[in-house]
Amino acid sequence: MGTGLHKGVWANIQSGNNDIDKVGVHFSTSFYQKIGNGNTVRFWEDVWNTHGLPLKHVFPRLYALEIDKECLVSDRWKLVNTVWSGNWNWRCEPRGRVIDELAGLQHVLNSLSLTTCDIDKWQWSLATNGKFTVHKLASLIYRNILGPFSIGCNHIWNNWTPIKVNICIWRAANNRLPTLSALNSKGIIPASLLCPLCDEATETIDHVLYECILARRIWLKCWRWWGIVVPTYFSIKDTIFRSLAQTDSKLVSKALQGVFYVLMWSIWKWRNRVVHASNNEKDAILIEDIFSQIQQLSLLWISNRCKKFNLDWGRWILAPKEVFR
């Protein structure tokens, strides 16, 4: 993005103004100056009013009459006998249609009061607090490019699990995993639309990760392991956004969510092994018990990313909730 590398973050951002605007973030017009004493802001040339444009573009006829086009806000707006009023310097008296522009300018200035104790400051209209941050700009760009379900927006990122696991869950939440039904909808016709695991129903995201009888057995083991009441119905977003955590501990909820992420990632990986296996290998893969692998991987990844807890295998298997209390 931008025309090239420059010295400093701000110079690089400015060089990409047009590119940022193209993704729907109106960046080039998002900065304005908040008036304090008016001693550093040019009245006609700078952006400082609610129009988001310099006054020379809003009132071009008045600007043409101005003698000092570089004048400051404090030069043109004065306190006279306790009343704020314009201190104009025209080439000639406004008349005709210019009078209408003068009335409009006066309306813009009516709410303006200069304060000698405050200096003029830059404000950013895209942030509620008026302060520019690279993080906020990046989040706006990501949201506009990727849509409302972009990573970091509606997807709850779990930093106790690897990036590859989080990305897989994000893709599942947005129906972007290449299931057989998804491929078929894009014109890639598979030999069969039936689930590779159970061979009983059309393979969709919800089916292969939840509804398939083989996937369901894994979920039942996980719920029993964590002492969770088996839900009557749930969807992938229930898991991602609520984690099915029946606890008041944030740490337990995060750990449980991490286990669920690893579980879904493992099911999808297991499914891929079945799809790409030869006919002689499929039966052996299908009877594998991947639940023990889920327990091992979740312990390995969470313990390496959350080292303040003593996560040993025995406690992890017998009472995983108690580890985080």
pLDDT tens by residue, the chain, 325 residues: 444 555 566 666 666 777 788 777 888 778 888 889 899 999 999 888 756 788 999 999 999 999 999 999 999 999 888 889 999 999 999 888 899 999 999 988 888 888 888 898 888 888 888 888 888 888 888 777 655 444 445 567 889 999 999 999 888 888 889 999 999 999 998 999 999 999 999 999 999 998 899 999 999 999 899 988 777 656 666 665 555 556 668 888 889 889 999 999 999 999 999 999 998 999 999 999 999 999 999 999 999 988 788 788 999 999 898 888 7
The Cα 38–Cα 15 span in angstroms is 28
Number of CB atoms found within 10 A of residue 238's CB: 13
SS3 per residue for 220-241 = HHHHHHHCCCCCCCCCHHHHHH
The Cα 231–Cα 322 span in angstroms is 22
pLDDT at 170: 87
Query: What residues pair up with 194 in beta bridges, in sequence order?
Result: 202
pLDDT at 28: 78
pTM: 0.57
Number of CB atoms found within 10 A of residue 18's CB: 12
Domain ranges of the chain: 31-124, 157-324
Q: Which of 118, 38, 113, 39 is nearest to 82 (CA)?
A: 113
pLDDT at 149: 44
Q: Which of 263, 266, 268, 254 is nearest to 320 (CA)?
A: 254
Q: What number of CA atoms fall less than 13 Å from residue 250's CA on the CB side?
A: 1
Residue 24, CA distances (Å) to 47, 72, 129, 257 in order: 21, 33, 21, 34
